[in-house]
Structure 1
């Protein structure tokens, strides 16, 4: 049996997980080809690079939206500008004159220097489900991806007191989250993994600024997603685990604990965006029999 162990001593996010899986032998060209099945490849570009985090060479995975830097959009005469440099997902119950659930991009900033209307800034939960369902993935990939999206959606709905169908997301609707979640499922299948296990998940500490004000870490949605998952104490004043990362650990891991007895055949390091003085911000994965 092939086991994948998520050694998430610095937390985890979608991009860290993909970086680590590629570093452990995942096929980047296969990933690119499979993601094209979603038919949204005109909206993003994938970048993979090697970076050194506190002495550890690791793989950094990025989803670049268009070739733009700052993105402002107007919605119902209300302008928002998002220029956060951290990935963060939030949702609200949302009532419109039209029966339509919106999801907002929140993790990336970019500017349109062209004139056309960018129709995919808002993607509803049901649209994402449809997008994945129509792509023609194997049952394994489709099930993993849909379960992760559902986990995030239900957590957001519970926090904000709205049913799943009415949940209005920021990051989950963004292209990078679709890529992160579907991409993780594609690589896990490609690597032939039979079972995933995870270390207890550190969420970080301190406070973060989100749309609704200043919240303690972990943010409410992240904590809700991790309900029932063993958490690890961390003194780092930062948000170490994003909602996407939390969903990966909560949905895919069969059990949590210390490193399992196995013969390690491959190791991968996926780089996070932040840097810490005495702590490598990487996710380590180990695959073995």
Structure 2
């Protein structure tokens, strides 16, 4: 099994992470076929592009799906009705359950009823599924991650204008090393945080798996861009794939 290290110096969003996974060498069509099993109509454009001095893969995904599940219960039901294989299906549900838990605490509602507006968008569910499928297809057994760059300032969302990090991200980064560059904007999103915090290996200690790159033989490096209108759009997220080495 492979080891993966996520370099999130410039933050993490689902789009950046899926783009980096594709850039690491997996055929985009393999992931697209998995995403189709959700029975959500979508179009996706995958290309490698240059921004500033960096070259990376960038995905653009859109869906004309009229259904927009807004509660955790509706999202889980949509996933349950899909044709995804059981391992991918269960992981996607657990990631959404993690989001539901923190939103439940914030809004003081049962997690099954709390509304998940942005993360419940069909596009978001498709991207999470693509990420989970990519991790499985690349045979990644352990995931490690740098500290997360959160950003600063304010961001506009369905609840209005919120301070960065937004409340959900603040709860999700508990026991995770974080920092803030002198950059305005949301560099790490709640869904991005939920995904990486679920994937990162915990070796019996809440902080294990975070920080520096582990001792490993690097075989592939993938880089992924996020949205053009995000903070530092020319700075990608990097994923390092390889084999772990126990001793020097």
TM-score exceeds 0.5: yes
**Contact preservation (8 Å) 1:209, 1:215:** yes
Do 2:185 and 2:231's aligned partners in 1 also have CA atoms closer than 8 Å? Answer: no
What is the CA–CA distance in structure 1 between the aligned matches of 2:67 and 2:231, rounded to whole Å? 38
Q: Is the 8 A contact 2:54 2:235 kept in 1?
A: no
Shift of residue 211, structure 1, vs aligned partner: 4.0
1:173 is the counterpart of 2:127: no
Using the TM superposition, name which of 172-181 and 13-22 deviates more: 172-181
The 10-residue stretch of structure 1 (266-275 or 125-134) with the greater mean CA deviation from structure 2: 125-134
Q: Which residue of 1 aligns with 2:206?
A: none
Q: Could you say which residue in structure 2 is the equivalent of 1:97? A: none
| Number of residue equivalences | 236
Contact in 2 for aligned 1:15/1:61 (Cα 8 Å): yes
Aligned-partner Cα distance in 1 for 2:232–2:124: 29
* Residue in structure 1 matching 2:167, options 192, 216, 220: 220
CA contact (8 A) 1:275 1:281 kept: no
Cα distance, 1:174 vs structure 2: 0.8
1:122 to partner: Cα distance: 4.1
2:225 counterpart (260, 271, 275): 271
CA contact (8 A) 1:155 1:221 kept: yes
Q: In 2, Cα distance between the equivalents of 1:40 and 1:17?
A: 21
Where does 1:75-224 land on structure 2 (aligned, <5 Å)?
Answer: 119-224=66-171
Which residues in structure 2 correspond to 1:31-50 (within 5 Å)? 31-41=31-41, 44-50=42-48
Q: Compare CA radii of gyration and give the structure with the larger one.
A: 1
Q: Is the 8 A contact 1:145 1:182 kept in 2?
A: yes
Instruction: State whether residues 186 and 231 of structure 2, in contact with CA within 8 Å, keep that contact through their aligned partners in structure 1.
Output: no
1:45 Cα offset (Å): 0.7
Distance 2:90 2:10 in 1: 27
Q: Distance in 2 between matches of 1:276 and 1:166?
A: 30
Once the two structures are TM-superposed, the CA of residue 251 in structure 1 deviates from its matched residue by 0.9
For residues 232 and 187 of structure 2, what CA distance do their matches in structure 1 show? 15
> 5+ residue gaps in structure 2?
202-208, 244-248
TM-aligned CA deviation for residue 242 of structure 1: 1.1
Alignment of 1:241-280 (within 5 A): 241-254=188-201, 255-274=209-228, 280=234
SS in structure 1 at match of 2:241: strand
Distance 1:145 1:277, change over 3 A: closer
Cα displacement (A) at 1:154: 1.2
The 1-side partners of 2:56 and 2:190 are apart by 22
Q: The residue matched to 2:119 in structure 1 has which SS?
A: helix
The whole-number CA distance in structure 1 between the counterparts of 2:110 and 2:8 is 31
Inter-partner Cα distance in structure 2 for 1:277 and 1:155: 25
Distance 1:199 1:134, change over 3 A: same
2:177 to 221, 230, 236: 230
Kept in 1: contact 2:18–2:224 (CA 8 A): yes
Deviations 1:148-169 (A, max 9, x none): 1111111111111111011112
The CA distance in 1 between the partners of 2:186 and 2:128, in whole Å, is 19
- Using the alignment, how far apart are the partners of 1:277 and 1:132 within structure 2? 31
- Structure 2 vs 1, CA of residues 279 and 59 (structure 1 numbering), >3 Å: closer, same or farther? closer
Is the 8 Å Cα contact of residues 53 and 282 (structure 1) preserved in structure 2? no
